[in-house]
Structure 1
Amino acid sequence: MASVFVDFSGDAISRLQKIIYFVDRPDDVLDEIGAWLDKDTVLRFTKEQAPDGSRWEQSEAARTGKGRNPEKPGLTLTDSRDLADSVTHNVENGELEHGLGEDYAAIHHYGGRTGRNHAVNLPARPIIGIEAVQAKEINDIISDWLV
């Protein structure tokens, strides 16, 4: 029978202990990831950007000021800031939920027909998601916890 012996030196033991700790109790690191995702999502509202960095199609109200002060047209999906203010996360039993608390969030995220008799077709404006930028930051947060 073949055998392999591994001799750990330096701080390898403490790093392995941290890995074991976070595998069993990941809520703290997940909460930090959730807080960062919240901040990233709210910041992207001000840039009118999807998680992948692409620009949202500008709304008529943002473009023309229709229904708003025409001298201050505003930003898409931020008329009252209710949607941006509803960005939240929850960590429980090793699971992270990140999303929006408003019932109408899905129609803006995915797009589709809405309104009276479904007369209005809203374009998709992705709000929540993990793309390259978010994945890199998540990996960095995890790495920081393990060092």
Structure 2
Amino acid sequence: MAGANLTIDTVITGPDVLARMDEAMGNTAPLLARIGEYLQDATRDRFKTQSGPDGTAWQALQPHYQRRKKQNKDKILTLRGYLRGQIHWQTDGDDAVHVGTNAKYGAIHQFGGSIQKSARQSTVHFGGGKTKHLFVKQKKAKRSLQVTVPAHQVNMPARPYLGVNAGDQEQIRLRVMDWLNGQ
């Protein structure tokens, strides 16, 4: 999982401070669960705002892709919602939470990059006569043609959805403070 590190310095005052901290540090699982749930929700919310952790809007879809996209035409990184739905958190020992996705295509969307597509054979189906569309499904085809699609490269822009911003850091700090105070 791609992730970010965050260090939080706190000052705790009140009676029995060391005793409370010692007791709390014995079992950090509840704290890590609170932080993990918060970060998972914050990451999923970025799919609604269509922006990265730093508030920068994601690069718009290419017009030719947006025209042929069948669902969620106005949403970036969302066709059926699988990527957003596969954002999860997990603990790493007693002192870390990882937030990310195990979707194969998650990294290319986060970091961007080039995808090399090899040459392949395909069958193209054409409508005939007064059909509204040039290309149709096989059962509606008047004729078909075997074609070779040449090797090509697809360039994906980076659209970061994972990360921690200043607002997230403050929310994590508040959760740590609540946890240390026994709430």
Aligned-residue RMSD, C-alpha: 2.2
Q: Which has the higher strand share?
A: 2
* Structure 1 Cα separation of the partners of residues 61 and 20 of structure 2: 48
Specify whether residues 99 and 133 from structure 1 end up closer, same or farther in structure 2 by C-alpha distance, changes over 3 A only: same
Structure 1 counterpart of 2:57, from 37, 55, 58: 55
TM-score normalised by structure 1 residue count? 0.81
**1:7 matched residue in structure 2:** none
**Residue matched to 2:169:** 135
Q: Secondary structure at the match of 2:89?
A: strand
Change beyond 3 A, Cα 1:43–1:62: farther
Runs (5+) with no aligned partner, structure 2: 1-12, 118-150
Q: Which structure 1 segments of 5+ residues have no match?
A: 1-9
Is 1:59–1:76's contact at 8 Å kept on the other side of the alignment?
A: yes
Alignment-derived partner of residue 48 in structure 2 = 46
- After TM superposition, the score normalised by the length of structure 2 is 0.66
C-alpha distance in 1 between matches for 2:169 and 2:59: 24
**Is the CA contact 1:61–1:67 (under 8 Å) kept in the aligned structure 2?**
no
Tell me the percent identity.
26
**Farther off after superposition, 124-133 or 105-114:** 124-133
Q: In the aligned structure 1, how far is the partner of 2:107 from the partner of 2:157?
A: 12
What count of residue pairs does the alignment treat as equivalent? 135
Moved over 3 A (4+): 61-65
Higher helix share: 1
Q: 1:61, CA displacement in angstroms?
A: 6.4
1:71-108 Cα deviation digits (max 9, x unpaired): x6230001111100000011253131211120110000
1:1-147 aligned within 5 A: 11-13=14-16, 15-60=17-62, 64-68=66-70, 73-94=73-94, 95-116=96-117, 117=151, 119-147=153-181
- Considering Cα pairs closer than 8 Å and 6+ residues apart, tell me whether 1 or 2 has the greater RCO: 2
